[in-house]
């Protein structure tokens, strides 16, 4: 295939990052959206445990219950149906929902800190849950308490990003990701749709030379995945000509909300999932035979993987 040149590849602007997705114009009849962390790269666990979790413990004053915080982060970010969610939504779930009921926290009598202003921002549907969105909220804040909490959250997020930029390197894509992208890009437009920062996505995809196969790299600055997928495809492709590939329930929800197809990369079975996609599923998708029973079978297998209750409750 002819690589997508840098001049063709769209990057977010400071004014309206989402416009780059709206401006995307089809080159093919098919479109494939691909998540990055945990889907194309085995980077999800290391980022969550070594960067986001460690910085969360330090910034939000959770040192006395660090072990419980790590267990809660593992469950929320990796094992449950909130796997792959935006970092701010995951952090709110850990601090506000999971930690207060954790047996280690109860035994030591630790009072989990509350951050109502930050959590209100996280829950606001109009918020763009990114560093830029946080900075805009800080600039608008008139309440000193709200400003302090939002600044704390921004410091945590930026420090985690700095750790990722400095320490998460040379982790290759899963087996057959490169070969699958090369195959897909001959007949379909390809975009990275992710809740990670665009800066880290650019770095990882360029480091391994697979950014050449995609026309758009969309990170958290472009909103949630359901919006990313809608802006990239709405009115441009037939619904059954769009396939979302991901490893989290949020990827599935984005596909369902947009009336498109979904193929799961199952955690712990990534190599098998990519081999099946490369050898079988993508061909059936292009031939119009993936929708229906075949897709439902893969989604059912995917749904069975996620834990409903935290391990400390069972």
- Domain residues for the domain of 147 are 44-167
Whether 8 is in a domain gets the answer no
The whole-number pLDDT of residue 193 equals 97
Whether 13 is in a domain gets the answer no
What CATH code is carried by the domain that includes residue 248?
3.40.50.1000
Same domain for 112 and 155, yes or no, is: yes
Q: Given a cut of 60, is residue 120 above it in pLDDT?
A: yes
Whether 1 is in a domain gets the answer no
- Distance, in Å, from the CA atom of 128 to the CA atom of 131, rounded to the nearest integer, reads 9
- Decide which of 167, 201, 235 is a domain's last residue: 167
Q: What is the pTM of this model?
A: 0.89
Over residues 100-112, the pLDDT tens digits come to: 999 999 999 999 9
Token pair 């472009």: residue? 222
Question: CA nearest 215: which of 233, 193, 190?
Answer: 190
Whether 10 is in a domain gets the answer no
Whether 70 is in a domain gets the answer yes
The whole-number pLDDT of residue 125 equals 94
Same domain for 32 and 54, yes or no, is: no
Same domain for 299 and 177, yes or no, is: yes
For residue 117, the 8-state DSSP code is: H
Q: At 239, is the pLDDT very low, low, confident or very high (cuts 50, 70, 90)?
A: confident
Same domain for 53 and 193, yes or no, is: no
Whether 314 is in a domain gets the answer no
Whether 261 is in a domain gets the answer yes
- Decide which of 137, 167, 197 is a domain's last residue: 167
Q: Given a cut of 70, is residue 115 above it in pLDDT?
A: yes
Q: At 169, is the pLDDT very low, low, confident or very high (cuts 50, 70, 90)?
A: confident
Over residues 195-217, the pLDDT tens digits come to: 998 989 999 999 999 999 999 99
- Decide which of 116, 150, 167 is a domain's last residue: 167
Q: Given a cut of 80, is residue 15 above it in pLDDT?
A: no
For the chain, what is the domain count? 2
Question: CA nearest 200: which of 161, 248, 145, 241?
Answer: 161
Whether 114 is in a domain gets the answer yes
Same domain for 188 and 285, yes or no, is: yes
CA 238 vs CA 30, 193, 211, 234, 283: distances in Å: 8, 19, 25, 9, 17
Q: At 12, is the pLDDT very low, low, confident or very high (cuts 50, 70, 90)?
A: very low
The whole-number pLDDT of residue 314 equals 73
Q: Given a cut of 90, is residue 168 above it in pLDDT?
A: no
| pLDDT (average), residues 206-230 | 94
Same domain for 155 and 222, yes or no, is: no
Q: Given a cut of 50, is residue 6 above it in pLDDT?
A: no
Same domain for 234 and 245, yes or no, is: yes
The whole-number pLDDT of residue 5 equals 45
| pLDDT (average), residues 259-276 | 97
Same domain for 235 and 265, yes or no, is: yes
Number of neighbouring beta carbons within 10 Å of residue 273: 24
What mean pLDDT is reported for the chain?
93
| pLDDT (average), residues 16-21 | 83
Q: At 4, is the pLDDT very low, low, confident or very high (cuts 50, 70, 90)?
A: low
Same domain for 288 and 220, yes or no, is: yes
| pLDDT (average), residues 280-309 | 96
Q: What percent of the chain has pLDDT over 70?
A: 95
Same domain for 159 and 278, yes or no, is: no
Same domain for 115 and 203, yes or no, is: no
Over residues 122-140, the pLDDT tens digits come to: 999 999 999 999 999 999 9
The whole-number pLDDT of residue 10 equals 47
Same domain for 293 and 181, yes or no, is: yes
The whole-number pLDDT of residue 18 equals 84
């Amino acid at each position: 295939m002819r690589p997508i040149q840098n001049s063709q590849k769209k990057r977010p602007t400071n004014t309206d990052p989402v416009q780059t997705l709206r401006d995307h114009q089809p080159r093919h009849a098919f479109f494939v959206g691909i998540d990055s962390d945990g889907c194309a790269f085995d980077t999800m666990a290391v980022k969550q445990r070594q960067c986001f979790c460690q910085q969360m413990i330090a910034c939000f004053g959770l040192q006395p219950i660090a072990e419980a915080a790590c267990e809660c982060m593992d469950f929320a970010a990796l094992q449950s149906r909130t796997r792959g969610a935006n970092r701010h939504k995951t952090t709110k779930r850990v601090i506000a929902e999971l930690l207060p009921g954790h047996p280690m926290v109860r035994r030591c009598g630790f009072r989990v800190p509350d951050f109502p202003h930050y959590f209100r921002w996280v829950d606001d549907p109009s918020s763009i849950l990114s560093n830029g969105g946080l900075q805009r909220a800080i600039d608008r804040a008139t309440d000193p308490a709200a400003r302090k909490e939002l600044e704390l959250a921004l410091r945590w997020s930026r420090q985690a990003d700095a750790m990722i930029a400095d320490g998460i390197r040379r982790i290759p894509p899963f087996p057959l990701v490169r070969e699958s992208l090369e195959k897909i890009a001959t007949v379909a437009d390809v975009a990275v749709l992710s809740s990670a920062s665009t800066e880290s996505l650019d770095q990882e995809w360029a480091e391994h030379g697979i950014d050449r196969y995609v026309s758009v790299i969309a990170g958290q600055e472009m909103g949630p995945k359901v919006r990313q997928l809608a802006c990239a495809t709405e009115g441009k492709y037939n619904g059954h000509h769009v396939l979302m590939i991901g490893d989290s329930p949020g990827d599935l929800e984005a596909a369902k909300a947009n009336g498109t197809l979904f193929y799961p990369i199952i955690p712990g079975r990534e190599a098998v999932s990519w081999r099946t996609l490369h050898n079988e599923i993508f061909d059936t998708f292009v031939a119009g035979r993936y929708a229906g029973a075949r897709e439902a079978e893969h989604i059912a297998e995917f749904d069975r993987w996620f834990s409903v209750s935290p391990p400390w409750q069972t």
